[in-house]
Amino acid sequence: MLPSTIQTIFLLYSGLSFAAAILIGALFWKKNDLSAKLWIYGCLLTSIATSVTVFRAEIPLVISYSLMVSLETLSIFIFSESLGRLSPTQPNRRMSWLTPTAPLILFLLVELLRHEAQGQVTSEISALSTFMFGIANIFCVYQARKTAKEFSNRIFFNFLAIVFALASFLYFMRVINVFSGYSGFTFDLKTYNLVIWFALSLLNSIRNLTYIVLRLHLGFSEHSRLNNMNLRLSNALDERNEMIMSLQKLNRHASVNALASTISHEINQPLAATRLNAQFAEMKLQSDPSDTVILKEIIKNILDDINRASNIVKNLSRLASNKRNYSSKVSLLESINEVIEISKSKLRASKIDLELNLVTDYQIQINMSEWQQVLINLLNNAVEALDESSIERKKITISIARELDSITISIQDNGHGIRDGQESKIFELLVSNKEAGSGIGLWLSKNIMNRFGGDIVAKNSPSGGACFTITVPAA
């Protein structure tokens, strides 16, 4: 055999360790992965330690041997630290005190023994160094087994533990060879010594390859887990949207039902007027059919009453519409007037004065039916708050103003206001300040406005009562 056989094995192993560091670095480029970084450091330290040890005849032993065996021990402990950082529960765990302490103690002991041996590396020093390598590998076995318990698929962790255990066994075999007198020198070309170093180089290269495969496996598993989470999240969002749609429809119907009595009264008025005008026209045709002027006036009144009833029905139909997400340019003045027209009888029945402060008509981009649902929810809340108060002159004021690219609509009443600390909570689902409240209306209203890029906030007015302010982008 060539005298450089074992040195060649060391250099080949050093090159493979360096290649593993480069490959892991490429796989985790620009990723803040502490486990991968530690494994790269371990591979680089191993590469440096084994290559420098080969040329120790030309380099002072304090560097080429004492320092290099300490670096090799440190690299193995760093591998165990890297495995510990794969823990999903403790990814930022503290470094074990053994990791820096054991290599330092080994360095001091080797230098002490080398000093006693007049600066030479004896078989006892070689055995001590190799024994420390075996202990460090046992520590890696423990860490691999410990981390594996936190994963459902443990095959690669268990394989790594076996590789570390076999490496530890071979290091201990090397210690036995030294103490038996078979091979006291590291580069002895004796059969068992050559087999041990070749097997160790092979196992340690397999160790690095297994780590790479382990990380790829964990990456694919994490990717699959995230895909499943995204799928479940997507399904949950679909279910949430369906729930919101159902609640919105329910709330819209509840709003319409709450107005049913006043709306029926509002429609009955033009219908009754139409009936009276029709009866009067019938009488006029029988008594004086030639008086076309009066007949034309009666017909005009009938058409006006029909249009009035038709507008009420149209507004209600729009409010009860279930079209979602379709948006268009909406006139604030027109949309607010339609809601006021629907709620007019209820305001009159509750003896509430309504004041509309709108100097300029603005346009917003929103779904008409959903926008009017927000308005009627807030108007109904104001009416109900005033119904519960004992104020003589009840009043609701609707004010509109423009601020840069947004429009603000304020609906303010002069009732008792909102209880302290409830200004933001009243927009939560199933939270209501009213005894018979469902806790859906305000939550839905805020959800609608958020969906169209707007918002609703509530606060108490300094002059008394509650003020709900809607902010919506201008068209």
**What is the per-residue pLDDT for 135?**
94
Spatial neighbors of 182 by CB under 8 A, at least 6 apart, are 190, 192, 193
The domains of the chain are located at: 5-233, 259-320, 326-473
- 439, pLDDT greater than 70: no
Mean pLDDT of the chain: 80
Say how many C-beta atoms besides its own lie within 10 A of residue 153's C-beta. 11
- Angle among Cα 174, 177, 180 to the nearest 5 degrees reads 150
Residue 85 Cα distances to 140, 270, 342, angstroms: 13, 78, 65
Q: How confident is the model at residue 436 (pLDDT cuts 50, 70, 90)?
A: very low
Residue pLDDT, tens place only, 74-89: 999 999 999 999 888 8
**What is the per-residue pLDDT for 275?**
72
Taking residues 179-195, report their average pLDDT: 83
Taking residues 165-194, report their average pLDDT: 87
Taking residues 123-149, report their average pLDDT: 93
Rounded distance, CA 383 to CA 388, Å? 9
Among 81-85, 110-114, 400-404, where is mean pLDDT lowest?
Answer: 400-404
**What is the per-residue pLDDT for 238?**
73
pLDDT over 90, % of the chain: 26
H or E stretch covering 402: strand 394-403
325 strand-pairing partners: none
Which amino acid, residue 366? I
Give the DSSP letter string of 230-299.
Answer: HHHHHHHHHHHHHHHHHHHHHHHHHHHHHTHHHHHHHHHHHHHHHHHHHHHHHHHHHH-TT-HHHHHHHH
Q: How confident is the model at residue 304 (pLDDT cuts 50, 70, 90)?
A: low
Residue pLDDT, tens place only, 46-75: 999 999 988 887 888 888 889 999 999 999
Within this chain, domains 5-233 and 326-473 share the same CATH topology: no
Residue 64, token pair as written in the block: 């080429």
- Which candidate, 464, 443, 466, 454, places its Cα nearest to that of 379? 466
Which superfamily is assigned to 326-473 in CATH?
Histidine kinase-like ATPase, C-terminal domain (3.30.565.10)
Coil, helix or strand for 188? coil
Taking residues 27-49, report their average pLDDT: 91
Verdict on whether the full-model pTM lies above 0.85: no
**What is the per-residue pLDDT for 249?**
63
In the CATH scheme, what architecture does the domain 259-320 have? Answer: Orthogonal Bundle (1.10)
Q: How do 394-403 and 363-366 pair as beta strands?
A: unpaired
**What is the per-residue pLDDT for 329?**
84
Q: How confident is the model at residue 164 (pLDDT cuts 50, 70, 90)?
A: very high
Taking residues 142-166, report their average pLDDT: 91
Which amino acid, residue 92? N
CATH of domain 5-233: 1.20.1070
